[in-house]
Amino acid sequence: MWKLPVIIVNFKLYHSGSGERALNLAKSLDRVAEERDVSIAIAVNPLDFSRIRDEVNIPVMLQHVDPVPHGAHTGRINMELAKESGVEGLLINHSERRLTMADIDYLVQRARELDMVSVVCTNNARVSGAVAFLNPDFVAMEPPELIGGEVSVSTARPEAIVETIDAVKSVRDIPVLVGAGIKNGNDVKKAIELGAKGVLVASGVVKAKDPERAINDLIDGMM
């Protein structure tokens, strides 16, 4: 499992986080992770996975995997293929790619069997508590209305962070990450002070003019 606290950078389908630009971004995040001796993981598009995987030491995750076995499925990717391709972990149930509870359960259990890290995204404390019963490696709570915005979860919804950590802890001891609107070291610092074990960030790094400077600022908040 990854060293904590961790920063997961979701490249989404941003132009600056895909194609050759994804490789450059991944390399600079990898360099910063090593220089500053901190835990960073990235979640990339499946088309970019293989161009990045062998070029960096940080964990490279997928943003979504379909809950299906091998067989007659068109335009899908599954856990077995992800494992065979060297995927170390995956985001499950991101707000931009919601799944049913049964699908989440399938992916979390399969991730465990295949020795892959599962990060289940949730939208609030109640769903986080429910997901904790499935025993993923991480629960990552992101209020959907704050995703991609300028105001962070730490500033706008600190009570939601505390409630989420309590809800998860009442089921089992799973590290909770938080995300949405994370833009600077202060956002990270507050989240960690409230009990989060790391953050999930996208636009604050991927769309930044200077992503290396942006990630360094976030790391300052972890120190």
Alpha-carbon span 185 to 219, nearest angstrom? 6
Question: Where does this chain touch ligand G3P (CB under 6 A) — which range of 30-38, 80-88, 128-136, 142-150?
Answer: 142-150
* Binding of residue 148 to ligand G3P (CB under 6 A): yes
Percentages (nearest 5) of helix, strand, coil residues in the chain: 45, 15, 40
Kindly tell me which of 82 and 180 has the beta carbon lying closer to ligand G3P.
180
Q: Which stretch binds ligand G3P (CB under 6 A): 30-38, 54-62, 108-116, 197-205?
A: 197-205
Residue 65 within binding range of ligand G3P, rule CB under 6 A: no
Query: Is residue 94 among the annotated active site residues?
Result: yes
The alpha carbons of the chain give a radius of gyration, in whole angstroms, of 16
CA 197/CA 174 separation, integer angstroms: 10
Q: How many residues bind ligand G3P (CB under 6 A)?
A: 14
Closest CA to 40 of 26, 54, 20: 26
The verdict on 41 binding ligand G3P (CB under 6 A) reads no
Among the candidate windows 18-26, 34-42, 80-88, 199-207, which touches ligand G3P by CB under 6 A?
199-207
Distance in Å, CB of 8 to ligand G3P, minimum: 7
Tokens of 60: 């490279």
- Peptide linkage before 136 cis (omega within 30 of 0): no
Q: Output the six-digit token pair for 88.
A: 């170390």
Judged by the rule CB under 6 A, the positions of this chain that interact with ligand G3P are 10, 94, 142, 147-148, 179-182, 200-204
